[in-house]
Each structure stands twice: as structure tokens, then as C-alpha cells.
Amino acid sequence: MSNEISKNKKIEYTDPRKIRNFAIIAHIDHGKSTLSDRLIEFCKGVEHRDLRQQMLDSLDVEKQRGITVKAQAVSLNYILNGELYTLNLIDTPGHVDFSYEVKRSLKACEAALVLIDASQGVQAQTIANIYKAIEEDLILIPVLNKVDLPSSDVDGVSAQVRDVLGIDDTPLQVSAKTGLGIDEVIHKIIEKAPSPSGNINNELKALLVDGWFDQFLGIVLLVKVIDGKLTPNMNIRMMHTNAVFTIDHLGVLTPKKKNLPHLGPGMVGFIIANIRTLSDVMLGDTIIEKDSKITTPLEGFQEVKPVVFCCIYPVDSSDYNLLKTALDKLKLHDGSLLVENTNMPSLGSGFRCGFLGLLHLEVIQQRLEQEFDLNVIMTSPSVKYKITKTDESIIFVNHPSEMPEKNYIEKVEEPWVKISIIINEEYTGPTMKLCDEKRGKQIGIEYLEGLNESSKRCILNYRFPLSDIIFDFHDKLKSITKGYGSFEYEDDKYEEADIVPVNILVDGVKVDAIATMIFKSNAESYGRWVCKSLKDSLERHLFPIPIQAAIGGKIIARETISALRKDVTAKCYGGDVSRKRKLLEKQKKGKKKMKEMMAGKVAVPQKAILKVLRRSK
């Protein structure tokens, strides 16, 4: 039946039996955002003239990179057999760095579309997201996307869905780009996804799913109502922070904001309550009425543990407060971001931040520059090392400046992770070689059946030091597998390792921003590479500039930027050689005097630091 909604027909939002809450989970680039666009189009969520690509990707960084960073919700209406249904869709990120967003989004759902690229098959993040959905006891609906591509292998990937994912249902076949099979997906959601439980007559209980800062409205909260209902002018209380607010207005995202008279059980919508203080809200908190006697909160979100750390400093120290405000707003929008105050003599006051991966770090940096117009310096990314001191006390450090003296250290331990790598069988050799280079220890190998020899795949299970995979492992894996390799990792434990602090000195002065901690056998090659990178990036002066890498007092690598030399003998046409020698000696004394005056004043531009931090080649 056509999905034309009569303007005169009153839409009943409050009946939970007509609500379907579902998420789209998949590996990166399998078409989640494109499928979301088609669902919005087929449900007539926006006028045809307003349709655009990546409707739910609202951040500039998402549009520029072509990836979803932030989970987004949209409420759609669809008529099937004369019945009006409300479909609450949550589009989730696919990259491993944003798996926390996926986990949080699934809390608001009863079902999940498992989207798989028919030309690539089951990938590492597909499996990881399936486990997250199973933990939340969601109904899984498999969907094969890009079935219109000549390289698609529908039968082979369908077998993987059955054998690898353990889903017995026959996958739906769609092309999110052309719209093929989208109606069938909507019908299957209505048919299979359970309606949310809840009673409008019970006391209010709502889960705080997400939040973001609006410069005009303050903090906007995305909530899922479990029991009772939310109405304008209602006094609500956050159970964790005990903060009390009065709701100004509320509604759903269609994807535009649409105000409603109330939000009932099972509904996912926004509330605006004049919230100005970021510390008053906590994602995963339970929302109840101000005078409610409820003492047991809803099951919230598992606290996320950052794995990559770096320090962020404003280029101009006067921008410190602006940077603090920007990071506070980003922290509300991104609950996985860790922010702490720090101070470094050479860089001043700044913030030590924790991220879920290197892409997460780059996205935050890009948002600081684009959304808040801030110029920042970021130190070299590192992981958190565990140090046992001689007095048996334990400290955690992530920067050489925090390291105690060597004679006070009993042992240093680094974090390890378990990793699952999914590749085509033909790339097994090169991938195992890469793993060996990264100090990986093999746990096992599993083979996946395909329709033909070229589609046979395998899962390599390894243990890795976290520090060896956060930088360029993803890029190298994609390179040697021609883009088809993928991986997923989880925390394992700390193990003792020979970790040393490597400091970089430019003209005898430490550059704290690019100091790092590294495995001892890799320290020399890393030091040589950094020195060479800085030599190529720094400008020449009228005196030679030494660039050194050092472990303590031992220099392990050195490059020298040669001095600029003015030809002071250019005007000497003939005459005694002593005249030329006198001019050259005078120049030499002048350069020596200049070097003494300029000692420690060689500026290391941000461009040179960023080149090292990004490991550009």
C-alpha cells in the first residue's frame, strides 16, 4: 500500500504496539548511511527536494571523510495494511574506533538490521557488532547490500551469514543506491521487530541515550521512554547527578525537529529543558519525575576505556579557556572522550585526552579546528604504560616527561590486545608477515567457506602490543589486502616489556610534543626517521642546527641542518688570498656569536610537528 499519510489523519504516537525501534549495524563502508537515506525517502521523512546524501551525517567531518562518526536517530512513519507504524531508526558508525557509539545506540532498540556488502562478505566489525546486538537480546534481520554490483556473491555471502554469524533467516537482497528491495526491508522490520514493552500509566522511567550542545537551545537530550510519559512543563530529575530540570518542549527527529505534546513508552525523541551545565547530565543516566520514589536505575552504559592518549595545547596560550569550553562540548557529544588538565613547561597549560583509536583522535582534532576555529598542538599519541617502582608502588604514564628516574623503576608493562583479522585466503602470507613485524603472537586461524576459490576467507586470531597497532597497522593491512582486510580488537592484559622514553632535541632543546615511549629495539629506527623528518621540515638558519634523538643521556640518532652561507668573497676580484681569508674568519666569528645568541631559540613550526605525529612519509 502506498505510504501516503493523510494530513487530516491524527497520528497516534503513544501506542507501543505500533512502534519499531531498530538500528543498522555493519562494517565500515557497507552502506549504512545510504540505506538510511533510502528508508527516509521511502517513508517520506523529508520532501523530495530536500533529499541529499548522508541525511543523518550532520557533522562536517562526517561529510568530508564519508564516514559516520556519531550515531543519529530519526523517527519515520509508514502505513502497512491500513495501520500506521512509527519506525525509530538509529544509524550507527562502522569504524572500530566508534564501536562505543554502536553499543550505546543498541540500548534504545529491540531489533537490528545486519547490513553486509554482498561483494565483500562478512567482515571483522560485522562479527563484533553482532555480538553487541546479541548481548542486548535484539532480533537480527540480515540484509545483503550492493547486490546489483557485478562482483557481488549473494550465495557465498548468504552461506557466511548462516555459518559464520549463525543467522538462519534468508538475507534480504537490496541495493541502497538504487532503492531495490527497500520496501521489503520496511515490511520485514514491521513483521519481525518486537514492539517495545512499557506502560504509560506507570511512573516515568526514561534512558538518556545521547546529548549535544545547541548554541540557541543549550543542551539537547535524546531519550528513550521506558515507562510513563514525558510532557512539557514536567519537572524531571537525573538519578545519577540528582539535577532537576523543567521540560520546555519535546518531540521527535524526522530528521527535522518536530514538537509533540508528549513522549510515551517506546518512543525515542528529544527533550529541551534549559540545561546549561555540562556536569549535570551523564549519558546512560535514568530520568525520573522530580518527586519519584524510584530507587533502582535502568541499566546504563558500560564505562568506556580510552586506549590512545595525547595532550592538546592551544598554539596561543590566551585560547586556553576557549579550548576548555570546546572540549567540554565535545565530551557531551562524545561520551568516550576523556579530558584531564595537564601542564608541560615547554607548551604551557593544556589537556590530556584519551581516545578510542587514532581515527577518533584525528576526528576530534578536525572538529576543534573546523567547528571551534582553534589552532592546537597535539603531542605524539601513546598508550598507557604500567610502571612498578622499586618501592612496589604502581603508576601509569603515557609520556616520557612522566617517567621516573631509571634507578627507581622495577619494571615497565605495556597493554596487549586480542585481535581478529578477516582476510581473503590469498593474502594470508603477507598478513602474517605484517603481524610478525608488529610483534604479534598467533593464537589460531579459522577458515571460512566461499562459493569459489577467490571468495575463500580466513580469520587470523592474534595477540598484539596495543602500541604497535594504533598507528599504521590499519593502513598497512588495507594496502596488502587490496582494501578487503579488516580487524577488530579487545583489551587483554599488561605484559612486561623493554620500553624506553625517546626525547627529540632541536639545537639542544627538548621538543616535548614529539617525545614518545617505544619498544627499545624500535627506538633507533624511530629516532632516525623523526630526525630526518624534522630536517626536511625545518628552515635553515645562518648557523648549523643539530637534531638529535636521545634515550636519557645517550644520543641514538642525529641529523644536522647545514648553515646558510653568504658568499662574502664575491666582491674580491683578485688580490692577496689573505684578504679573502680575513673576510671568511670574520664571517665565522659572526656565525659563532649568532649561534650563542640564538641558542635554544630555533622555532619548531606546527607543520613539522604534525608531519611527525601523522607519520607521513
**Binding residue per annotation — 30?**
yes
454 carries a ligand binding annotation? no
220 is in an annotated binding site: no
10 among the known binding-site residues? no
- Confirm whether residue 375 is marked as ligand binding: no
**Secondary element (H or E) of residue 288:** strand 286-289
How deeply is 612 buried, as exposed, middle or buried, from its count of CB atoms within 10 A (0-12, 13-18, 19+)?
A: buried
Please choose, from the candidates 24, 52, 49, 23, the residue with its C-alpha nearest in 3D space to the C-alpha of residue 37.
52
d(CA 292, CA 315): 49
Ligand-binding site membership of 33 (annotated):
yes
- DSSP-derived pairing of the beta strands 83-91 and 19-25: parallel
User: What 3-state DSSP class applies to 57?
Assistant: coil
For residue 309, which amino acid is it? F
Residue 29 in marked binding region: yes
> Which H helix or E strand runs over 495?
strand 486-496
Does 500 show up as a binding residue in the annotation? no
- Look at strands 139-145 and 111-117 and give their pairing: parallel
Give CA separation, 209 vs 158, 173, 330, 397, 480, in Å.
33, 31, 16, 32, 39
d(CA 562, CA 542): 9
- Tell me if 377 sits within 8 A of 513, measured CB to CB: yes
* Three-state SS at 447: strand
Q: 562 vs 379, 457, 471, 541, 596, CA distance in Å?
A: 27, 53, 32, 8, 16
- Which among 233, 217, 364, 340 has a CA at the least distance from the CA of 276? 217
DSSP reduced 3-state for 75 = strand
Q: Are 18 and 84 in contact (CB under 8 A)?
A: yes
**Residues 116, 486: Cα–Cα separation, whole Å:** 14
492 known ligand binder: no
Residue 148 labelled as part of a binding site: yes
CA separation, residue 369 to residues 32, 132, 376 (Å)? 27, 33, 8
Q: Is 327 left (phi over 0), alpha (psi -120 to 50) or beta?
A: alpha
Binding-site residue set: 29-34, 145-148
Binding-site residue set for GTP: 29-34, 145-148
